[in-house]
Amino acid sequence: MLTTNDILTFLQNAGIRQDDKVTVHCSLRSIGKIENGADGLIDAFRNYLSDGLFIVPTHTWDTVVREHPFYDVRTTPPCIGTLAKVAAFRPDAVRSLHPTHSVAVFGKNAAEYVQGEENSASPAPVGGCLSRLYEENGKVLLIGVGHDKNTYLHAVDERLRIPDRLNPDPFVITIKDYHGNTLTSPPFHTHYTAAAHTCVSEYYPNYKEAFEYTGAVTYAMLGNALVYCCDARKMTDTLRMIWAKADRDLCISLEPVPAAYYHS
């Protein structure tokens, strides 16, 4: 069984500082049995990041859609897994008001970190919770999952203004906050890629070798799970270099990014 001490040791060995801002995408099943389950994992991360923030995506993009444009921060369940579903409704979490890509944040500055998310007009805008991992030198841990689950890369797409990433036909979403007040989003542009038959994130694994080469991603183990330890700033800078050289869309089919795009 993975114990609290095991998790703390993992974080130390992975180079995570106690004042870091860390977001996690996690397959709990891949880890194996955990002391106190999902809550135990959250408790360990939250306590270790005593001067930082622990950020768990609690996304609702699969249910808050054009045909049902409604998000209630108190009741709308996440659509992305057990850890998210537990984190979203814990009393010590502050869940953001982003209607499709909310996060549950743990830490003493959590409420400040999520302010203004109801004003998001896209999934991962510059200045939003995910995008700010760049300015904050944040980390992304992919536990038992790969880059196809690396939502931060959507924030990079938006930061770099990669073409054909947002639906040009927006819609307005009704949001209910913690007090039951009704808010209205700006015209909201969902993820969209006209040139592909699936979400662009399915092709983010194309970046794997580039991230390894630049040191943006290293690897560790947590229980039975392989963990991608990702540096948000280094991933962003790597992709900025790649897209400056790219002559085509690199994420509309499964193909490695040409090494010439990221070899300095």
Percent of the chain with pLDDT over 90: 96
* Whole-angstrom distance, CA of residue 118 vs CA of residue 108: 21
Give residue-wise pLDDT tens across range 215-254: 999 999 999 999 999 999 999 999 999 999 999 999 999 9
Q: Quick one: which H or E segment has residue 107? A: none
Residue 180, pLDDT score = 96
Give residue-wise pLDDT tens across range 49-70: 999 999 999 999 999 999 999 9
- At residue 264, does pLDDT exceed 80? no
Mean pLDDT of 198-204: 94
Residue 46, pLDDT score = 97
User: Helix, strand or coil for residue 134?
Assistant: coil
Mean pLDDT of the chain: 97
Reported as a pLDDT band with limits 50, 70 and 90, residue 195 is confident
Beta bridge partners of 23: 55, 140
Amino acid code (one letter) for 208: K
**Scanning the structure block, which residue is given the tokens 């993820």?**
191
Give residue-wise pLDDT tens across range 118-176: 999 999 999 999 999 999 999 999 999 999 999 999 999 999 999 999 999 999 999 99
Residue 178, pLDDT score = 96
Beta bridge partners of 234: none
- At residue 208, does pLDDT exceed 90? yes
Q: Domain spans of the chain?
A: 4-261
Reported as a pLDDT band with limits 50, 70 and 90, residue 194 is confident
Cα-to-chain-centroid distance, residue 60 = 13
